[in-house]
């Protein structure tokens, strides 16, 4: 008797499957998160048309390749500010943004507050948790 995930697991493993190609695209985006992303170039790298890449990428991740890259960049910038104490402008450049104002807008959209305000809020929440634990 075959389990429900069986066909999906076989699809992931098959060399020419869309899932495997999308996995390769995701790996490339992760490995090159600070690079400018051209969906056409990425599609070519993984052997798909741009429209097919976009369709299958979105069906697997719920994001377009550009949205996925943006989310990775913003999360990494947040990590840099929280963990390494980097200021917002430096973090934005380190993750590949060329415009601090664009970075701030997109950061606010994702996290609900501008970078400095968000980092203070997260840091205060973290201190509160540490005090409750101790």
Helices and strands (H, E) in the chain, number of each type? 8, 0
Answer yes or no: do 14 and 44 share one domain: yes
Tokens 């104490």, residue?
Answer: 85
Residue pair 19/11 in contact (Cβ under 8 Å)? The answer is: yes
Query: How far is residue 125's CA from residue 119's CA, in Å, rounded to a whole number?
Result: 10
Two structure tokens written together for 13? 């493993």
Task: Say if 68 falls within a structural domain.
Answer: no
Does some domain include residue 1?
A: no
**Domains in the chain, number:** 2
Does one domain contain both 47 and 27? Answer: yes
pLDDT values of the chain reduced to their tens digit, one per residue, 134 residues: 444 555 554 544 444 578 999 999 999 999 999 999 999 999 999 999 999 999 999 999 999 999 999 999 999 999 999 999 999 999 999 999 999 999 999 999 999 999 999 999 998 887 766 566 65
Domain boundary, last residue among 62, 89, 108 = 62
75 closest CA partner among 27, 129, 21, 122: 122
Instruction: Indicate the pTM of the whole model.
Output: 0.80
pLDDT at 129: 64
The distance of Cα 93 from the centroid of its chain, to the nearest Å, equals 16
Specify if 86 maps to a domain: yes
Domain edge (last residue) among 62, 81, 106: 62
pLDDT of residue 11: 47
* 99 and 54 inside one domain: no
Q: Is 14 part of a structural domain of the chain?
A: yes
Q: What is the structure's pLDDT at 6?
A: 53
Distances (CA, A) of 130 to 81, 90, 118, 127: 19, 28, 18, 5
Residues 31 and 82 in one domain: no
At residue 24, the pLDDT reads 95
Do 58 and 93 fall within a single domain?
A: no
Residue 118 forms part of a structural domain: yes
Same domain, yes or no: 11 and 46: yes
Q: What residue numbers bound the domain in which 21 lies?
A: 6-62
Give residue 124's pLDDT. Answer: 87
pLDDT score recorded for residue 127: 73
């Amino acid at each position: 008797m075959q389990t429900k995930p069986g066909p999906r697991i076989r699809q992931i493993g098959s060399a020419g499957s869309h899932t495997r190609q999308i996995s390769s695209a995701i790996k490339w985006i992760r490995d090159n998160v600070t690079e400018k992303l051209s969906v056409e170039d990425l599609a070519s790298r993984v052997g798909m048309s741009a429209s097919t890449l976009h369709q299958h990428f979105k069906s697997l991740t719920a994001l377009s390749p550009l949205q996925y890259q943006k989310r990775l960049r913003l999360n990494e910038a947040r990590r840099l500010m929280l963990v390494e104490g980097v200021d917002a402008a430096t973090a934005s450049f380190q993750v590949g943004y060329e415009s601090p104002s664009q970075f701030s807008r997109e950061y606010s959209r994702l996290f609900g507050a501008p970078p400095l305000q968000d980092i203070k809020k997260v840091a205060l929440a973290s201190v509160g948790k540490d005090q409750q634990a101790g």
